[in-house]
Structure formats: C-alpha cells, structure tokens
Amino acid sequence: MTRKYNFCAGPAALPTPVLERAREELLDYEGRGLSVMEMSHRSPEFVTIAENAEANFRALLQVPDNYRVLFLQGGASTQFAMLPYNLLGNGGTPNYLYTGIWGKKAIAEARHLGGAHVAASSEANGLTAVPRPEDIQLSDDAAYLHYTDNETIGGLAFDYIPRSDVPLCCDMSSSILSRPLDVSRFGVIYAGAQKNIGPAGLTLVIVRDDLLDRAKPETPTMFNYRVMAENGSMYNTPPTYAWYLAGLVFDWLKNDVGGVEAIEVINARKAARLYDAIDASGFYSSPIAPINRSRMNVPFVLADESLNTVFLEEAEAAGLLNLKGHRSVGGMRASLYNAVSEAAVEALVGFMSDFEKRHG
C-alpha cells in the first residue's frame, strides 16, 4: 500500500504513527479481546483512555485548572448554537467578528436566538484581511465577543488575539494545537476534531468555570455545558473511537513531536515554503493579505483558470490529493495541518514548479 499526500481541509490527514498504532489495537485493545469501538464508555478501560486524552490535551495547551475540557459531538457547527444558548442566560447581545463563511454561519445561528451585533467585518476588503483591533466596536450590552481564528475556506487567519472586557469566544477548528496558546485570555474555545485533533465526529470545547451557569433556561439538556461538564462529557454515549484516536494524536504530538512549541516551528516552515513558491511565481497567486495568511489553509489561484481541471488531474496522478478549493471560492487550497509532512509540501512545490514550466 502506498500512502499519498493528503491536503484535504477536513476530514484531514492523520499522523501515520497514530494510524499504525490504531491498526495494531483495532481488534484487541491491550489484551482485552475486543476493540475500543466495542468497549463500554463506562468501562474502566475506556475511562482511562478518556482521562489520559484529556490530561495530554491539557498539558499540550497548558489549560488552567479553572477551565473544563468537554469532548462533544456535533462539530463546530453545533457550537454555533450551543455558545449563545450557554452564554445568554443573563441577557445581553452576542457580538461577532465577520471574516468569512464560518463566522457568517456562527452569526446566523446567534440570530436564530434573537439577534447578534457584528462588531467588525472584513466584508469591505473582500474577506482578504481581518479587521484591525481599533475597528472592533462592541455593543453597549455585549454578552460576549466571538471570532473565527482561522477561516478554513478562505485561508484568512488572525494575527492577534482580540482584547475584550466580555468573555472572548473562539472557533479554533483549523488552528488548535498548531501553536502555543494563552487559554486564559478566552472564555470559550471550541474546535471540530477533523483538522488537528483526530477524525470527524468529535468536538472539543474549553470553557471557563464561571461561564457554566449562564445558560438560557430553555437550553436543551444535550446543549448545556454544565450538564456535560458534570457528567464528564458522558451524559449520553460519546463518540468513543474518535475520542480514543484523538488521545493517540495528543500522545504523538506531545511525545513524538515535542509539543505545540515544536509543531509551530514545523508549521511555520511548511507554510513559508509554499507561500514563497507562490510569491516567486508569475503563474500562481494568493488572494490573502500577507499578514493574515493562514499557516493551516493555503488558497491559491492559477493565472489561467481554464487549467484548473488539468492541474487537479495531474496533481492526483502525482499522489497529491484534495487540492481543489472550496466550491464557494474556487481555485486551489492546500491544507497544511500538523499531520501533513514537510515532504508533502516539498512534493507539492515541486509539482507546481513543473506544472508552471509546462503550462505557464
């Protein structure tokens, strides 16, 4: 079997050592004679798996003791609704920064519950640069401020953490664990797993203790952060195998790679290699302002869009998969999450250079 280079935005590449270990343990986990997929979430074995995963995740991001880590279902899209349900019990207006499609969807969900204030927007610049700190204007009754740290589709990333006197909430689905993070500056952080955490089906939420009792009275039980926190994320049967695989990823990142400090250096190097190749070319270009270019999702366009199909066909034949840009923006997109190797980036850059020579 030949592993190819996967640049998918999600479900994304997983570390090869993680997949190999999961394969070894698939039928018989530690001599128990059954798979983790068949194991009761209440069993001592799975409770240990869950506790170790949370401990490693906390260690990687140095999560303070006054924060809960929840392992939930539903993806970040469910958090678009869960967040306002859990933080609007004391009234006020949710405030949002609009920088792309996922931020727009989060705003739409908040408006289902009564309204939202857009405190700053990137719409005027075509979603190519994030608002500057001085452009952010909160409403007088702001309940919280939400932003999307990295817009997966547009490849637009914040170069700073917004300052806020109200709880700061962030969708970090595409950037979590890619660099060190001061969790203490946030009220809530959430992330779908299928980028840097593990397989699709799991969502992690980091929530500060003092925010657990702000839920609206009508909040559904399964949406309530307090309920999930008090039940160890097991009010119902959780996505056990995804939780187990996430634990293997955390172990790999912590012990094999050297933690988020080490992976940040690697990620910076990967992104710089690809952006440098794009910028040095007269054939490829990036639409994003350099200061806000994402390290995780690199969109680029060809000078001749009629060659898009040929580019993708030849890339796939060369073992470079999932480079097609999102249907809403077109072009190409290479996602360079933690599990994407530097060898993969070198292979992509080499292919792009050769393609330009032949078609440019």
d(CA 210, CA 200): 29
What is the SS3 assignment for 151? strand
Where along the chain do its domains lie? 16-257, 259-359
Residues 6+ apart with CB under 8 A from 26: 35
**What's the mean pLDDT in 120-128?**
96
CATH superfamily of 259-359: Aspartate Aminotransferase, domain 1 (3.90.1150.10)
Whole-number average pLDDT of the chain:
97
Band of pLDDT at residue 191, cut at 50, 70 and 90: very high
pLDDT in tens, 316-355: 999 999 999 987 778 999 999 999 999 999 999 999 999 9
| pLDDT tens, residue by residue, 205-238 | 999 999 999 999 999 999 999 999 999 999 999 9
Measuring CA to CA, which residue among 89, 78, 123, 83 is closest to residue 104? Answer: 123
| Cα–Cα nearest to 5, from 320, 315, 334, 339 | 320
342 φ, ψ (degrees, to nearest 5): -65, -30
Q: Are the C-beta atoms of residues 60 and 254 closer than 8 Å to each other?
A: yes
Q: Write out the DSSP string of 208-222.
A: EGGGTT---TT--GG
CATH classification (class only), 16-257: alpha beta
Tens-digit pLDDT profile for residues 289-314: 999 999 999 999 999 999 999 999 99
Three-state SS for 288?
coil
Contacts of 50 (CB under 8 A, 6+ apart): 41, 71, 232, 233, 234, 238, 243, 247
User: Over the stretch 74-119, which tens digit does the pLDDT of each residue have?
Assistant: 999 999 999 999 999 999 999 999 999 999 999 999 999 889 999 9
pTM, 2 dp = 0.96
Confidence band of 1 (pLDDT split at 50, 70, 90): low
| pLDDT confidence bin for 360, thresholds 50/70/90 | confident
| DSSP code per residue over 236-280 | S---HHHHHHHHHHHHIIIIII-SHHHHHHHHHHHHHHHHHHHHT
In the predicted structure, residue 32 carries a pLDDT above the cut 90: yes
- Going by the DSSP 8-state scheme, the letter that residue 324 receives in this structure is B
pLDDT single digits (tens) 235-287: 999 999 999 999 999 999 999 999 999 999 999 999 999 999 999 999 999 99
Reading the block at residue 196, the tokens are 């840097």
List the catalytic residues.
102, 171, 195
Q: Which amino acid is at 110?
A: A
